[in-house]
Amino acid sequence: MNMLICAYTNLICRLCSSSYTIISALFDKRLHKLLMVRSVDLLKSKDGQNRLEHHTDAYFSDKLIVRRGQTFQMWVEFSRPFNPKSDKLQLLLKLGERAASNPGIRISVPLVDVLEDSRWEMKIVEQKDKRVRLAVNTLPTASIGRYKVTVESFSQRGRLLFPCTPNDIYMLFNPWCEDDPVFLDNEAERKEYVLNSMGRIYYGTEQQIGARTWNFAQFEQDILEACLFLLEKGQVAMTEWRDPVIVSRMVSALVNSNDDRGVLMGNWSDSFEGGTTPTAWSGSGDILRRYYKSSGKPVKFGQCWVYAGVTTSVLRCLGIPTRCVTNFSSAHDTDLSLTTDIYLDEKLELIKDETSDSVWNFHVWNESWMTRQDLPAGNGGWQVVDATPQELSQGSYRCGPTPVSAVRNGQVDLKFDTPFVFAEVNSDRIYWQKKPDGSLSQVHVEKNSIGQHISTKAVGSDARVDITHLYKYPEGSEEERIAVETASRFGSKPTLYPSPTVNDVSIEIVMDGAGPRIGGDAKLSIVLKNTSSKQRTASLLYEVMVMYYTGVLKDTVKKDRIPIDLKPQETKTIPWTLQYNEYMNHLVDQGALMLTVTGRVNQTKQILATQLNFRLRTPDLIITPLEDAVVGKELTVKITFQNPLSQVLKNVLFRIEGLGMQSIRMIEHGDVEKLETVTLMEKFVPTVSGSQKLLASMDCRQLTQVHGFADIVVKPE
């Protein structure tokens, strides 16, 4: 019996051993077929392709620092060769940790065959044995910040995750990307306002202007980390970190410590015990490092130029073009009257407890460059951002971004904080005398004392540039008076200036039909109507400016005055022409222009103002099928284009898609002579029957928005 049991036991053992061997073999085989990530190389070296192409090679950090809206590359090594037919791959990007107050952002980046702009995508651009090189597309509107990266691999045998920690990716705004709201189209200005780590800040008085050199230190050790640490303190959802308007407004609050324990504590007293005298600082690096390494303890002490220097450092570090600007004889309007009010008693002595407005010898703020899609067209470009704590704005000590163009035109109803900035540069200094009964009367007005010699550093040199003309029209001019009086009507003293007795003259700009075409003269009409029974006269000022489609104004093309004499009840149409030779060298991207007409009726003081945004229409691509379209049969299509300009178009590229094609067909045509007609004969083989569209567009820096399409009905075989 014992022998039988022993034999049975040996048999069971042999069977179990055999099964274990089989299971181990199957497991080893399965493991072999799994697609495992062995390593990831983010190609983050400072002198490598990524950092050089993204203009981030100057940053001290050894992390991968990229700018959004631009492709970067990376290597991934697997446990075996990647098989595009059966294996799949994607990147998982994570910005921030999951929290109820700020849940962060999660992004999946799929693997595709062809990269398309404005999408999170990646493609394999090279494969070597077990390694693949990926080109990764990022969105031009992605949130900036520090992203954690995970590579996710899929095969028939399963899914595996490979966290790349601590190799995170830092993503910044991109002034080199046309689709980024901070795009700046001048390379010299990008080098100055983004890449230059040294600057000049002006101080003193309007008669005695001094200058000091400032080290912005935006690329130094720990500064990028400090800037992102600062954003995290802002209590703003990370989904909003994509918007330079919100980011710059947040930074203007966080650089001062008044209500959120921000970077700098202000001190305008005579004692700086326990801290650093504001005049002793010569750069931002030490300030930001102290703040970061103390986990957010405000640094003592700052005044306006220190706030502006640190703000420049933070915004340049994050990729927003920024500069320091000094305003001499800078007004501080405390009652939103949009005037600087000085109160005198019956003896013409100053009533100190009622005179709360002040005029600083100088005040330093910042300008940052961005589009303003939240405002009417024409308000993009330079925006005032001021971190010096002066007045509350929506509950916090912050100011901006304020469109400089809105300040210039007195459009103080536009956000943010335009009334305050307007008063700083262009308010009238009004002297009021208090009568025995408590009423006030104006006794004197100074119209040209506020906002003098507004200054910034020149591009590419240490020279001082006066930019007062960007903030206001020439002192005493009709345009400047109109701006001041228009602005005052939105203030706390809207009846300060005499209102027009009547509004009996109307003005509008009229465009015939679809509007002017590029290459020809732009012809519009200015129509004025006098509804009164009396004669009306005025002097109209017109100014036409080139404008980016985003609303950023570029150059003045033409500016002049038109005298107006209207008879009673007369309607007068004034032809207005902009000749081709006047605008041909000024156009940008989509041929957009803005015509502004202003004036004042002499008899009634009524202000006349109107604007028209218009585009110079581009020619269409004419697409003509030369025979019936049939599935499986070759179809010849003629595409015709005529250059409307009296100049050569360089490096013209045509792009064709549709008609069931799975990819874009690109045709490098080369140069197109002035006024030349181009004819392309392209052949297609339709694969799907029914109603189809064939689309074509032209890619040329000198002439944009040229495209066309044809509806084609494809018959079955």
Q: How far is CA 645 from the centre of its chain?
A: 31
> Is there a contact between 151 and 233 (Cβ–Cβ < 8 Å)?
no
Among residues 227, 304, 317, 399, the one annotated as catalytic is 304
Q: Are 167 and 150 in contact (CB under 8 A)?
A: no
Pairing of strands 299-302, 264-266: parallel
Query: What is the predicted pLDDT for the residue at 6?
Result: 46
Q: Alpha helix (H) ranges present in 541-648? A: 580-583
Three-state DSSP class for 244? helix
The single residue of 168, 386, 417, 504 carrying the catalytic annotation is 386
Sheet containing 131-137: order of strands: 37-41, 72-78, 131-137, 121-128
> Do 635 and 591 reside in the same domain of the chain?
no
Task: Flag whether 163 is in a domain.
Answer: yes
**Whether 122 contacts 109, CB under 8 Å:** yes
Q: Is residue 420 part of a domain?
A: yes
Query: Quick one: tokens of 591?
Result: 């041929």
- Boundaries of domain holding 671: 622-714
List the CATH number of the domain containing 473. 3.90.260.10
- 362 shares its domain with 385: yes
- Domain holding 671: CATH number? 2.60.40.10
Q: Look at residue 677 and tell me if it is in a domain.
A: yes
Total structural domains within the chain:
4
| Assigned domain for 109 exists | yes
Q: Which of 331, 337, 313, 333 is nearest to 323 (CA)?
A: 313
Q: Are residues 427 and 307 in the same domain?
A: yes
> Which residues make up each annotated binding site?
426, 428, 475, 480
Does 12 reside within a domain?
A: no
- 164, 363, 417, 504: which is the annotated catalytic residue? 363
Q: Which residues contact 437 (CB under 8 A, 6 or more apart)?
A: none
265 and 376 in a single domain? The answer is yes
pLDDT at 169: 96
* Contact between residue 388 and residue 256 where contact means Cβ atoms under 8 Å apart: yes
Alpha carbon distance 469, 480 (integer Å): 11
230 and 323, same domain (yes or no) = yes
Whether residues 155 and 252 share a domain: the answer is no
Annotated binding-site residues for Ca(2+) read 426, 428, 475, 480
Tell me the average confidence (pLDDT) per consecutive run of 10 residues in the chain, 717 residues long.
45 42 41 83 94 96 95 96 92 80 85 90 95 96 96 88 90 97 97 94 83 90 96 91 97 94 90 86 91 96 95 98 94 73 69 70 94 93 96 92 94 90 83 83 76 95 95 85 78 60 86 86 94 94 77 79 94 94 79 82 84 83 94 94 92 83 80 95 88 83 83 91
Q: Is 304 annotated as catalytic?
A: yes
Residue with tokens 């189209």: 185
10 falls within a domain = no
Asked if the structure places residue 7 within a domain, the reply is: no
Q: Which of 126, 142, 172 is the last residue of a domain?
A: 172
Q: Global pTM?
A: 0.76
413: left (phi over 0), alpha (psi -120 to 50) or beta: alpha
Phi, psi of 195 (to 5 degrees): -95, -15
For residue 4, what pLDDT is reported? Answer: 42
- Rounded Cα distance, 162 and 168, in Å: 13
In this structure, are 167 and 191 located in the same domain? no
Q: Are residues 269 and 132 in the same domain?
A: no
Residue 386 known to be catalytic = yes
Residues 110, 139, single domain; the answer is yes
Q: Which helix or strand (DSSP H or E) is residue 630 part of?
A: strand 629-630
pLDDT, position 662: 58
Cis-peptide, bond into residue 401, ω within 30° of zero: yes
State whether 654 and 585 are in the same domain.
no
Parallel/antiparallel/unpaired status of strands 198-204 and 209-215: antiparallel
> Does 580 share its domain with 650?
no
Residues 628 and 662 in one domain: yes
CB atoms within 10 A of CB 252: 32
Catalytic residue flag (residue 363): yes
Last residue of a domain, one of 172, 195, 218: 172
Within-domain flag for 178: no
622-625 and 635-642 beta bridge pairing:
antiparallel
Q: Among 615, 642, 669, identify where a domain stops.
A: 615
Segment holding 545, helix H or strand E: strand 536-547
Give the pLDDT confidence score for residue 499 in this predicted structure. Answer: 53
